[in-house]
Chains A and B, each alone.
Chain A
Amino acid sequence: MLFNSFEFVALVLVTFGLYYLPFLRRIQVPILIAASLFFYGYTNPKLLILFLVSVIINVTTSYLVVHGLPQRRRAYATVGVVMNLLILAFFKYSPLFGRTFFPPGHSVGEFLAYVPLPIGISFFTFEGISLVVDAYRGRDIPKYRSLVAKSITRHAINTTFFVAFFPHLVAGPILKAHDFIPQIKEKFFGELDWQYCYKALVTGYFLKMVIADQLNHHTFWIQYPYFETHSTFVLLTLLFGYSIQIFADFAGYSLIAIGVAGLFGYQLMQNFNFPYISTSFSEFWRRWHISLSTFLREYLYIPLGGNRKGQARTYFNLMITMVLGGLWHGAAWSYAVWGTFHGLALAVERFWRDRHPAPEKPSVLRQILSGLLVFSFVTLAWLLFKLTDFGHVIKFMQALFNNTGFSSYMAIVVYVALYSTPVVLYHLYYLYKTHNPTHTLARRAEPYVYGLMFFLIVTNSGIGTDFIYFQF
């Protein structure tokens, strides 16, 4: 069920109506669980089987970690993490494994190639890992001890809700148990922050429906063989457009998720923080898909040793984290290459900074050049998301260099520029706000800007498409 569908709007309205009825207040969480399971199984009820199996594994292992035999805590936690990873590996990477390691026509390879990819699996398995690991860490971190309730029934309800809560279920933000579970309690209609929800929903729907969905039909031309026919200038424009589109699509999704969760009294973590103003790669990863980058940092990079084991090991840890982070996105080697590129960028940047520390107050010119460098690199790397066949990536790069003499189809340029402008302004406005904390004029204009966005959502939306991150 898409966020930009009437079915979804109906589901939210009905759930919202029931949720705040005073006589149903005690079953608010079960109401949300029922709505979430309906949401997830709406187009394919069979998906619920795997989802519930995953939930049962996480409920059991996390409960045993806290309330089972103390000497077996580590074993229970290991089993929980491994089971989550096995589910993810089997359903997500079987096709890649089958295509890579078996000859065409081989029965095992054929079987693996057709293992279906359940939507949202990358997200709910990571959340399961977060729960098991946080439960295990409860021994050292006092506030984590309350994550697993004494009653197995209560724990099962909390866990199911934590993983299934529909705004974040299929494409994040990836929740961490220690952030979300403490929020589970009765919610009151009077405590609703309407402005927060409205702003998140309007911005989210605007980014998705007006920007990403409109750009989607122009960046279509990045597909093989169509890019062969376009000039270098148009190809660069399309790359820029795709960079804007993927941001608008995913940041839009995340904001809708945050807004809808807010309607039910829950706060999800911010997933994007104006990533395209980043002046370094490390800053980019603090601003882009924050829930994934913080997950990788907390549950992979730091346990690997982070930057505590010397320089060489730090670079290695960065690389391994980014390669695995790349592969998390999809079962194609192009994602691993994408992760490797970013890992290399982070390692090289760190190496450089260790030897040439940046000045305390870098000049504006230096910041602009750094920002352009980071944006250009990130944008070029998105090509590996759009073209998962590596051969096509190489052909695209060849076209980029060879098609200099082609005539440019200016309509594409005009529309990409038109629909990218709001995202550019969105980032510039953030910069303006950062440097002018009072920004009275901008604050006064805000209601009208939101009104304009609302108007454009109604009158200027593109043809609805799946969210890009649904495939991950």
Chain B
Amino acid sequence: MTAFESHFPPMNTRTHEVCGPSAYAFAFALAGRVCRTGADTVLWVREAWNGTQLNPLGFAPYLDPQQLLIAQAPSHIDALASAEEALRSGRISLVVMELSQPIGLTEGRRLQLAAQQGRAMGLCILPEGMGSNAAQTRWHCAPVFDAKARADSTLQKWEIIKNKSGTLRAWNVKWDAQTCRINVVSEAAQR
């Protein structure tokens, strides 16, 4: 339990990466956790061709949709440039980048520096296996089917698969809509 608290939310002023089918849930849980006050803003940078629509009614339990700005970048480069500018501005608490191509070491490092300068957190949602070496941590998130739980189960497996300053670990977590927080479910209960 305490181990999870020390890993989540991940270190501020850094960029992190997340992959896997539940990456959206991770991003929104993190956004909700980072942006507790109404003045905080999350910028969600995505590439304009992406047909998948963020559903505000779906993520409203995690984060007030008013706090979210969406930037539809025409290309991969524009997405990275916009994210960098937003990180550096100091007005945005969390920048989520939804990318379809791997980012190189140079771009990753630039994002790190921008995050440091603007005292913001960056999160890249990347396809599996496309991470950059510059990221502070990389998470893999996948939903888990829980045969015994109630119907509205949100059980997921969150796993740190890269960590620059710590160990790799995995947790089974559950989103608690009442308290708006992530609860860790003991491993033993799963077996």
Q: Do A and B come from one complex?
A: no
Residues of B within 8 A of A (CB): none
Q: Taking beta carbons and an 8 Å cutoff, which residues of A are in contact with B?
A: none
